[in-house]
Amino acid sequence: APVVVAIDGPSGSGKSTVSRAVAARLGLSFLDTGAMYRAMTWWMLANEVDVEDAEAVAVACGKPVIVSGTDADGPTITVDGQDVSGPIRGPEVTAKVSAVAAVPSVRARLVELQRGCAEVAERGIVAEGRDMGTVVFPDATVKVFLTASERARAERRAAELRAKGVDEATITAMAADLARRDAADSSRETAPLAQAADAVLVDTSDLTLEQVIDRIAALVEE
């Protein structure tokens, strides 16, 4: 069977960077499932769907055509043929994505797309998100749950934003938004962020990026 590496964890645990680097090193495809929830949210906002209305979101969620390019050297995401990789990282989408991701029909639709990506991946795939090991790929070859102390996560996010020239007041506001989103993702009814029973816990607080990548690559090569 093709290799599936399932990586879950909260925001700021280093998940995206680590997952992509592991995929590149091992020659596997890479899937950022958060980008799919963000793309769905972007489409809802662009089409003026009230994202706080779960019923409205459920009715609309079959409409957008979301396509993820899974090349670890340059992952892409399009909605109805339009490249949305920039706008899905904006504050409007970030503020609303947890509400959209909590709607069961949204999850059912995206989970199906995610499994499809794994099926067509030639050598295997590294998939990252919140429910990879628990729901989407219960039989994954390797499952990893990445954590970091709240402080380490907040500092990482702040450093990323500072590097982009974001001002301190915005950084503080974004830290609060991140805490709110983590709480929402962990407490929702459908597929909450959780560590699978058979996942390996990796705390990245005091590890360098290289150390985390080495550790996960070693688990896959075992």
Residues binding ligand CDP (CB under 6 A):
11, 33-34, 37-38, 97-98, 101, 129-131, 181, 185
Distance CA 72, CA 215 (A): 19
Q: Which is nearer to ligand CDP, 2 or 192 (CB)?
A: 192
Q: Smallest distance, Å, CB 146 to ligand CDP?
A: 10
122: left (phi over 0), alpha (psi -120 to 50) or beta: alpha
- Using CB atoms within 10 A of its CB, is residue 54 exposed (0-12), middle (13-18) or buried (19+)? middle
Q: Smallest distance, Å, CB 11 to ligand CDP?
A: 3
Q: Smallest distance, Å, CB 32 to ligand CDP?
A: 7
Q: Which is nearer to ligand CDP, 60 or 153 (CB)?
A: 153
Q: Which is nearer to ligand CDP, 124 or 153 (CB)?
A: 153
Q: What Å distances lie between residue 196 and 9, 105, 137, 146, 190, CA to CA?
A: 11, 22, 10, 11, 15
Q: Smallest distance, Å, CB 97 to ligand CDP?
A: 4
Chain center to CA of 211: 21
Q: Which residue is nearest to ligand CDP (CB)?
A: 34
Q: Which is nearer to ligand CDP, 30 or 37 (CB)?
A: 37
CB neighbours of 104 closer than 8 A, spacing ≥ 6?
A: 58, 190
